[in-house]
């Protein structure tokens, strides 16, 4: 009779769960399992941070929910163009993509 032993190894990466689980925004696909109204309602219950809804007329992307503070640093048009050019090519219509955005602002003051 052959006796067999096995060893199990469990590995886990732990990070603190934070609320809301959305930092800067979400891109919702046209066929995503949840719509912008339901996500907006959940966000309003989970955080006091203000988010804005940006509807998009597209075959893949239907909506962007973005933290209002982001839109103080860039225009809606620039953000929508970024989403369509950079995120849309790697996104499926059934997906929801979480955004973590870093915006750099360069200021120049000329002395006379």
pLDDT digits (tens, 9 = 90+) for 3-12: 778 788 888 8
pTM: predicted TM-score of the whole model, two decimal places: 0.78
Burial pattern 92-107, b for ≥16 Cβ within 10 A else e, equals eeebbbebeeeeeeee
CA dist list (Å): 110 to 106, 107: 13, 10
Q: What are phi and psi of 99, to 5 degrees?
A: -105, 135
Full DSSP string of 96-109: EEEE----------
State the Cα angle at 84 between 67 and 97, rounded to 5°: 55
Task: Kindly provide the residue ranges of all beta strands, DSSP E only, lying in the chain, ordered along the sequence.
Answer: 25-29, 51-55, 61-67, 96-99
Condensed to tens digits (0 to 9), the pLDDT of residues 55-98 reads 999 999 999 999 999 999 999 999 999 999 999 999 999 999 99
């Amino acid at each position: 009779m052959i006796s067999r032993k096995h060893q199990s190894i469990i590995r886990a990466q732990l990070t603190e769960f934070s609320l809301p689980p959305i930092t800067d925004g979400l891109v919702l696909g046209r066929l995503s399992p949840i719509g912008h109204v339901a996500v907006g309602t959940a966000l309003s219950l989970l955080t006091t941070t203000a988010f804005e809804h940006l509807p998009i007329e597209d075959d893949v992307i239907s909506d962007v929910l973005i933290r209002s503070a982001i839109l103080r640093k860039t225009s809606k048009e620039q953000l929508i163009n970024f989403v369509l050019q950079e995120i849309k090519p790697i996104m499926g219509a059934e997906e929801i993509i979480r955004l973590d955005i870093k915006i750099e602002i360069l200021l120049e003051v000329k002395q006379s």
